[in-house]
Copies of this chain bind each other. A is one copy, B any other.
Amino acid sequence: MSARQVVIIGGGFGGLSAAKRLRHADVQVTLVDRKNHHVFQPLLYQVATATLSPGDIAAPIRWILRRVHNVRVLMGEATGIDVHARRVELADGGVLEYDYLIVASGSRHAYFGHGEWEQYAPGLKTLEDAIAIRRRILIAFERAERATDAAQRRALLTFALVGGGPTGVELAGTLAEIARQTLRDEFRSIDTSRARIVLIEGGHSILQTFPEPLRAAAKRSLERLGVEVRENTVVTAVDAHGVTMKSGERLDAGTVVWAAGVAASPLVATLGVPLDRAGRVIVERDLSIPGHPEVFVVGDASAFLHQGGMPLPGVAQTAMQGATHAASNILHLMRGEPTQTFVYKNLGNMAIVGRNSAVADLPWAQLRGVIGWLAWLSLHIVTLIGFRNRVVVLFEWAMAYFTFQRGARLITEQTPVERGLEPPRAGAG
């Protein structure tokens, strides 16, 4: 009855790891998330490119934690944290009181101060984002099939991906395959294989966190797929018809996807502690926040600067390791022991480039090509949550590999703007 209350905000990789670490502890845990489901974010780009269904990479949080009996899962949106009163405020007016708090609220895509670009260039963080991007990609081909003007058709068949990190690279490779293979025989007025896929990176190289040989290999693979890779190219404007580069060059593109920047969830600003430029909480060595040893921030919402001075990479393993460590520190505090310093262990970094090709930067090897690709496939199948999802994803991958078919080419839930298709050619032709 009087067990200490632990509140975990977020049901991503961090939140789930924290809840599992506290499984046998004498605490009452409440995990709150805006969604009812956990999303396996590394495969989100496959939903955006119609290979997988949303349900294949997601699972209900309360199902994942069904056997963790000291956890209560709530669907609700945390909007504020009162560290003095030790309360989390929810959007609907509800309140969760805590003795210990783990904030694992993640990040959203960010537009470097140009929030108005979002309407033209959606980012990819949630299932809704992925469904919206899938819809835009598929609609672009539908509109191109009906376009009468050559320039307009060319623009509709141009896809600009802003940001050359793993998400941008993976989207580019898959889009190329869809245009060149999947859709090939299905249109009558357009040749989908002539679609332009342009990957735009502001920095000096795509996949900057990878070592040079792997970056070069990835770039070669993309170019073999027909992707135009533009490095050292800063986007200065995004509008309804495409993007403008710093050089003044203009790219007319019917579809623009944003994979260039992230910022911490705005929730952490309510903690009242220092943030870095991306809105992340600058945490202590034990992952707690200054002045509040009972509050921990982990994963994308935090900036841990005690290991090399740079924030840790925004990947699943950072969130999982941090959350497990924060949960352990709560147990130390409950026993009156000192908390432990967090040490991040880099297990490696991977990005898939396309069919038979991926790069993997592992502590013991650098893999590329087919070997990297098999490593990527294996890791993602093994870490995906739920037997059902593993089987269906494996099957979908096999189908896509052998037949080039995509299982989820649906245009659903269109917005009114998206429904405003261009006039078709007159029917009698």
Seen from chain A, the residues whose Cβ lies within 8 Å of a Cβ on chain B are 5, 7, 28, 30, 35-37, 53-56, 58-60, 62-63, 66-67, 72-77, 87-88, 90-98, 127-128, 131, 138-139, 142, 145-146, 185-189, 388-389, 391-392, 395-396, 399, 405, 407-413, 419-424, 426-429
Contact = CB atoms under 8 A, between A and B. Distances in A.
Contacts of A423: 90, 92-94
Contacts of A94: 146, 421, 423-424
Contact of A427 (B53, B55, B96, B429): B96
B36 A409 contact: yes
Contact of A187 (B56, B62, B91, B98): B62
Nearest to A94: B424
A396 B391 CA distance: 10
A91 B392 contact: no
Nearest to A96: B427
Contacts of A392: 392, 395-396, 407
Given A54-B412, A66-B186, A95-B427, 13 more contacts: A55-B409, A75-B146, A76-B421, A88-B427, A90-B424, A92-B420, A92-B424, A95-B426, A97-B426, A97-B427, A97-B428, A131-B413, A388-B395
Contacts of A396: 388, 392
B399 A37 contact: no
Best-surrounded residue of A138, A388, A413 (most CB of chain B within 10 A): A388
B146 A55 contact: no
Nearest to A59: B409
A428 B5 contact: yes
A214 B177 CA distance: 51
Contacts of A63: 186, 405, 409
A35 B429 CA distance: 23
7 contacts: A53-B408, A73-B186, A77-B419, A94-B421, A97-B426, A391-B395, A413-B413
A389 to B, nearest CB: 8
Nearest first, the 6 closest Cβ-Cβ pairs linking A and B are: A96-B427, A55-B408, A53-B53, A94-B424, A97-B428, A53-B55
B37 A427 contact: no
